Amino acid sequence: MENEYTLEHCGHIYNPTVWEKYPFYMTNRIHFIISGTAYYRETRLLKKNHLYIFPMNPAFVVTQDASDPVDHIFFDFRSYTNNFFTDMVEIDCSSVPGLLSLMNSVKEAFTDWDVSKKLGPSYFQTVIALINDYIPVNVPKSAVTQAAVDFIHSADVHDLTVSSIAEHINVNEDHFIRCFRKDMGYTPHKYIAMYKADMAARMLLAGKNVSEAADALGFSSVSSFSTFFKNERNIAPSEVRNLNFPRA
């Protein structure tokens, strides 16, 4: 189980303004609501002392009532076996033995980003152990799609084109596109774009400048990279480093 989920970021945030410009799409999320008023996709109220598992989805939108800011714990994680599911999962922490006391312990422990980074992996694995039965399981992907996803996440980013992936996994390009879209809900081209934009966001948050990120991802110019990133994330790459978001 531990190998299925990779923690990326975690922390304790009051008044999470970063929700408005979230830099990652290829990420699953766990939120524990301590207090405040927030909504998922503007309609579903997030309840106090409830834990929410959010899908990897570009349509991820959480907003808060400005007059009642949210206090919450979050764990952002990757799971290439359970990355796509239909909607969020709501868990009343009082209904899972040990979960509410654990999240209250996390709340007290996560005093700053450095502490969260140090203690987060251990807390995350305990959270996953307690809620594992609630995590949706994907419908098995076709062998074509699974081979493509494995290649995307292991190959040099400069080699990631639809034609090169189809050639590597030894299938017809049109067949590859059909299989991938059916299994994943996105074209391979869109999946690659989301993957590159996430890589860029990580580089920028880690301290690279826009030019370095553009070069590392194989863009011909800073201008073309900036246009790509803004189209994918609705934010200029130069703004990412100013987000109130934990650094890697």
Summarised one tens digit per residue, pLDDT across range 92-128 is 999 999 999 999 999 999 998 899 999 999 999 999 9
Query: Does residue 247 lie within any of the structural domains?
Result: no
Say yes or no: 114 and 152 in one domain: no
The pLDDT value given to residue 27: 80
DSSP reduced 3-state for 151? helix
Say yes or no: 88 and 201 in one domain: no
Residue 161 maps to which CATH number? Answer: 1.10.10.60
**Stretch 69-90: mean pLDDT:** 79
Say yes or no: 151 and 130 in one domain: no
Whether 83 shows a pLDDT value over 70: the answer reads no
The pLDDT value given to residue 2: 39
Residue 56 maps to which CATH number? Answer: 2.60.120
Say yes or no: 79 and 176 in one domain: no
Query: Does residue 246 lie within any of the structural domains?
Result: no
Task: Count H helices and E strands in the chain, helices first.
Answer: 9, 8
Whether 1 shows a pLDDT value over 60: the answer reads no
Query: Does residue 245 lie within any of the structural domains?
Result: no
**Stretch 148-165: mean pLDDT:** 90
Query: Does residue 215 lie within any of the structural domains?
Result: yes
Say yes or no: 104 and 170 in one domain: no
Higher local confidence (pLDDT), 216 or 136 = 216
Domain ranges, residue 65: 2-134
Say yes or no: 37 and 151 in one domain: no
Say yes or no: 21 and 112 in one domain: yes
Our count of domains for the chain comes to: 2
Say yes or no: 49 and 71 in one domain: yes
Say yes or no: 126 and 206 in one domain: no
Say yes or no: 18 and 94 in one domain: yes
The pLDDT value given to residue 20: 65
